[in-house]
Amino acid sequence: MTGRVLVRGAGAVLFVLAAGALNAGAQLLPVPPSRILQMALEAPRLVDYEGTKVITVLRGDRTETITVAEAHKRPERMRLEYVSPEDLAGRLIVDDGATAWHYEPRLNMAFEGPTLGGQLLSRDRTLLLRNYGVTDLGVEDVIGRQAYVIALVPHHPGVQRRLWVDRATGTILRSEELDPSRGVILSAYFSRVSFSLNLPEAYFEFRMPAGARAFRMFTTEAGTMSPAALQRRVGFPVLIPPVLPEGYTFRGGAVSRFGSLTSVYLRYSNGGNLISFFEAPAGSIGWPSAGRAIAVGGRPARFVDLGYFRVLIWEQGRLRVTAVGTVPTETMVTAAGQIAAGREQALVQDVSRQIESDPATVQRLRGEGLTFPEVARTVTLAHRLGTDLGTTIRFVRGSLSASDLAGRLGMPQEMLQQTVQQTARETSTSSSPFLSSPR
């Protein structure tokens, strides 16, 4: 059952971000690239459209092409109907802004859950701009429409995204996702699109097919719970990654309910890509047969390459842990290995000595979802800037911008940036022999 949840979540983010081709000789943009990015983020709330989207996904050493009929009604209604290939034809996702339904025709099963609305990028815009540079690449025609071309280039190792943004509406007409080790892992484009439509609301209402079985999957507290709060709710230990690639930070947690199965969901993001962890009692889920067998921290594991997403499953103690992410394979395996090492208490003591803080403070910050480098950075910055831990956590997580924090402190932003950079160097994994950062 967890596998279906993961595939549904992967498909949701895939289509929210989807839309790729570059004219290297195009002229420089007359509009700042940051403004073009903002246009793309705001467009779903402002524009109605329907069209046909062609998506090419790299799966292992082969590519798969998928055709989808896509419709959007502002601000958050969406309908995705798979047209091809044959084994996916008829798959349907309908989201009315409050509830999302995912229908699998081969199983004649429908999955009901919270809305998929709200783009990953728009939720994490401050974090996105902290971790990515936005570069203009010119202007190009896409299906007869002028489009700005911009690149989101990660400051740290990770996936680069290229977007073709419609000049008139801000809608993403094409996109590419480029993995540093595998090249283009996803490209998508509208082969046909129409705007300014009066699409009926009934088109975005799900109607249960005859004889279909319904499964309901919901999260509590709107995905805002900390790992410590989650652990109190579910009664089993919640594992928090000790270290993640630079720039990734905790963006929310929830209790997921899928039928009788209760699991914990932790989401980490750098504003443009994500790593999520699903944790549940091991006996409540069958061991998957899909994917290939690998080892995580000496434990048996299964790895599934879904092209845009990678899935890694292993057991630790009495828990089944499933990691899902758009990060490179080696990054995911290394991050999982850090969790599987089971060195939480030893690392609490090591970090406490490094930053000269009491272990209780380190444990409390870990309960907020911070990695150990983030814990060290938070405590050190709070001491140097004279800020409280709550404010410093928001800044370290990217929820509070440098300009806003500098304004609150009444100090020049350049001086703040120098302090932050010095602290980042001193508290990075490279300066701490007990941790190694996934790349």
Question: pLDDT, tens digit, for every residue of 194-252?
Answer: 997 888 888 999 999 999 988 776 665 556 899 999 999 998 999 999 999 888 999 98
pLDDT at 26: 42
Q: Answer yes or no: is pLDDT of 90 > 80.
A: yes
Range of the domain at 153: 2-204
Name which of 41-50, 58-67, 78-87, 115-124 the model is least confident about: 115-124
What are the tens digits of pLDDT across the range 184-201? 888 999 999 999 788 888
Q: Does one domain contain both 164 and 34?
A: yes
Q: Does one domain contain both 102 and 146?
A: yes
154 contacts: CB under 8 Å, gap ≥ 6? 131, 132, 160, 247, 270, 272
Residue 209 domain-assigned (yes or no):
no
Contact 268, 131 (CB under 8 A): no
Contact 178, 162 (CB under 8 A): yes
Residue 212 domain-assigned (yes or no):
no
Supply the pTM of this predicted model: 0.78
Measured CA to CA in angstroms, residue 420 lies from 131, 182, 336 at distances of 14, 33, 28
Helices (H) and strands (E) in the chain, counts: 12, 19
Q: Does one domain contain both 78 and 142?
A: yes
Q: Answer yes or no: is pLDDT of 289 > 50.
A: yes
Residue 437 domain-assigned (yes or no):
no
Tokens of 213: 């079985």
287 contacts: CB under 8 Å, gap ≥ 6? 302
Q: SS3 for 435?
A: coil
Q: Answer yes or no: is pLDDT of 310 > 90.
A: no
Q: Does one domain contain both 271 and 396?
A: no
Q: Does one domain contain both 302 and 357?
A: no
Q: Answer yes or no: is pLDDT of 113 > 70.
A: yes
- Provide the CATH number for the domain around residue 108: 2.50.20.10
- Average pLDDT score, the chain: 84
What are the tens digits of pLDDT across the range 48-66? 999 999 999 887 778 889 9
The Cα–Cα gap between 387 and 296 comes to 39
Q: Does one domain contain both 155 and 24?
A: yes
Q: Does one domain contain both 131 and 7?
A: yes
